[in-house]
Amino acid sequence: MTTVGCIGGGQLGRMLGVAGIPLGLSFRFLDPSPEACAGRVGELVVGDYDDPAALDALARGADVVTYEFENVPVEAAVRVGAVPGPAALEQGQDRLREKELFRSLGIPTARFGSLEETGLPALVKSRRLGYDGKGQRLVEVPEPLGEDGLAEELVRFDRELSIVGVRGADGETRFWPVGENVHRDGILRVTRVPAADAPKREAEAICASLMDALGYVGVLAVELFDVGGRLLANEFAPRVHNTAHWTIEGAGTSQFENHLRAILGLPLGSTELRAPCAMVNLVGFVPPLVELLGLPAAHVHLYGKDEREGRKLGHVTLLDPGEETAETLVALASHENEERRGRGQAPRPRG
Amino acid sequence: MTTVGCIGGGQLGRMLGVAGIPLGLSFRFLDPSPEACAGRVGELVVGDYDDPAALDALARGADVVTYEFENVPVEAAVRVGAVPGPAALEQGQDRLREKELFRSLGIPTARFGSLEETGLPALVKSRRLGYDGKGQRLVEVPEPLGEDGLAEELVRFDRELSIVGVRGADGETRFWPVGENVHRDGILRVTRVPAADAPKREAEAICASLMDALGYVGVLAVELFDVGGRLLANEFAPRVHNTAHWTIEGAGTSQFENHLRAILGLPLGSTELRAPCAMVNLVGFVPPLVELLGLPAAHVHLYGKDEREGRKLGHVTLLDPGEETAETLVALASHENEERRGRGQAPRPRG
């Protein structure tokens, strides 16, 4: 039986497992937590990501090793011979190198560098280890950036888009439709596809040029700002991505299955849209399952994680949703709704 | 976390698990084999189906217990309080009672009983424990039926159809589109949906009347003969069914998810067709994954079982397939093809 190792045992690993078990694949995950939610779909090696013994235990007998988050230590990826290769990690883990890579490929970005280069106000981000809006601050008057700080022009964008693509072992690339994303508190809340009037070809060209430059194999996502129809690349993620979770039901092949196909050298599957989708994240709490499943054409994905403020606990994809259904779901998933429940109503069962 | 127990740990249990993990469910299976393929998606209790201690271990702490095959001992189902309830097992495990139930509900069947009642030639089947064509013989001259034998009129049917429905805890019923099935050597090979010009309402009425009569909760399948547009019920199965595997990709909600929703008292999901499908079983051997995944819109499901003559090892669903693609898949999956490979070509890697 073919065994896939995965550095990280969170929900992305779990969804890789759910996609791969029907292909006859067996999974093994490395995660520091014995509660890692991917443990339900494969063997769990509990250990640190930089622990050579744990990494060797992950890789032993595995046909391929991949990863599900972009802050995997590069040495760890090298040690296990991870696919995608370490180049994407090296470039993506440092915001400055990431932006410089965009620039070197002729991909437009917001201005970046020092505050002199960006002007004010600017966003100052830590170069390393930021995600979900962590490690960012808005700067309105000149101040020292610090050793790890990188300034970025504060872009007044019309909307946030993302393009997610897959590149096979033979260099073939395919792209899912462009998604339109809504973040709150730095966390993705809603993705809708297809994004209306999206500059699809430009987005695909950006993603393709990155994947080709990195000699990439697997799924890669690029977050984009749409400024009056012009695309600025914000960042990329060398992995399956929250903005493409809708592909499980909404596309010919899900991002999870195509990532597995790519890293195993198998033919890629269709990335065509099967139905317009709205994907809503469940952040911090899970509404009652009976309410979620009562929505028409709702596909519920819970990650089996304990509730905690700001934590992604699941997502729901609506196929071909009416506005009313989408609004109901967004309300169900919102904190306001949780607080109302908490104050005035009977205790809410956990999903 | 909600835990579902399941008597039987074969591919149907495994696919229940794959469908239920995204709902945040946890699974436990009872199976005599430590190799039972559902063990990959949940805890496996190894024991006999009539072993009280094993049954208690299965049921301990489970929120609901179901089953994935129709020959579960009735006492076992009673002991664990299984859903669907034991009535369907009692009626379905004895071909004579099954036919009498059809008759009592006004559901047409082939003639059955003694050879005098059926005429000759007739099929003589064992009343108990037959499946996939086992325990059947064609009788052309009068002979004793034996204590366990039941004669059935040999019906010259135009095609085999099946109707699969789900009944919720509140009595609501929903039905997937009628499938047209091709068997060979008594084993299902291909299901196509929707069956052209199928008497859909008649099929649904048969399924509904059975489920209502049994006070049924969960998914139930009825195999039907189409004789010049008139339907004869052949047999029913009180469980998720091979002829509805296409629902994973081809319907608004899969039979597996809707079975779980029903037995947990959750709202049922849409059974609408999303795309015409051809589902092809992989029997006895698995063609190379690279060939299966190379087919357009192919969704591959391997069960993780060792190859053995006549054993169902997986299935492939084609969405909206052209005739050529469907024929290629049928050829890939056929024994003739395997034999050709075996004789003339390089060793075939296992999928």
Query: What's the CA dihedral at B77, B79, B81, B85 to 10 degrees?
Result: 30
pLDDT for the residue A135: 73
In a domain, A315, yes or no: yes
pLDDT for the residue B343: 44
In angstroms, the CA B313 to CA B333 distance is: 11
pLDDT for the residue A338: 57
User: Do B40 and B56 have their domain in common?
Assistant: yes
In the predicted structure, residue B340 carries a pLDDT above the cut 60: no
User: Do B62 and B141 have their domain in common?
Assistant: no
Q: Last residue of a domain, which of B40, B62, B82?
A: B82
Q: Tell me the per-residue pLDDT of B3-48, one tens digit each, with 9 for 90 and over.
A: 999 999 999 999 999 999 999 999 999 999 999 999 999 999 999 9
- Output the tens digit of pLDDT for each of chain A's 351 residues: 899 999 999 999 999 999 999 999 999 999 999 999 999 999 999 999 999 999 999 999 999 999 999 999 999 999 999 999 999 999 999 999 999 999 999 999 999 999 999 999 999 999 886 555 567 889 999 999 888 899 999 999 999 999 999 999 999 999 999 999 999 988 999 999 999 999 999 999 999 999 999 999 999 999 999 999 999 999 999 999 999 999 999 999 999 999 999 999 999 999 999 999 999 999 999 999 999 999 999 999 999 999 999 999 999 999 999 999 999 999 999 965 555 455 434 333 333
pLDDT for the residue A133: 59
Q: Tell me the per-residue pLDDT of A148-168, one tens digit each, with 9 for 90 and over.
A: 899 999 999 999 999 999 999
User: Do A142 and A247 have their domain in common?
Assistant: no
User: Do A193 and A78 have their domain in common?
Assistant: no
| Domain span at B241 | 159-344
A281 closest CA partner among A327, A324, A245, A325: A245
User: Do A187 and A327 have their domain in common?
Assistant: yes
In a domain, B350, yes or no: no
The structural domain count of chain A equals 3
User: Do A197 and A58 have their domain in common?
Assistant: no
Q: Tell me the per-residue pLDDT of A82-132, one tens digit each, with 9 for 90 and over.
A: 999 999 999 999 999 999 999 999 999 999 999 999 999 999 999 886 555
Q: Which of A24, A296, A304 sits opposite B351 (nearest CB)?
A: A24
The CATH number for B28's domain is 3.40.50.20
User: Do A286 and A316 have their domain in common?
Assistant: yes
Q: Which residues of B touch A290 (CB under 8 A)?
A: 266-267
In angstroms, the CA A235 to CA A99 distance is: 8
User: Do A163 and A148 have their domain in common?
Assistant: no
ipTM exceeds 0.90: yes
Q: Which residues of B touch A279 (CB under 8 A)?
A: none
**CB proximity list for A165: less than 8 A, separation 6 or greater:** A173, A174, A175, A176, A204, A207, A208, A211, A219, A220, A221
Task: Give the closest-approach CA distance of A52 to chain B in angstroms.
Answer: 27
User: Do A223 and A284 have their domain in common?
Assistant: yes
Q: Under an 8 A CB cutoff, do B270 and A297 touch?
A: yes
CA B296 to chain centre: 26
Q: Under an 8 A CB cutoff, do B23 and A289 touch?
A: yes
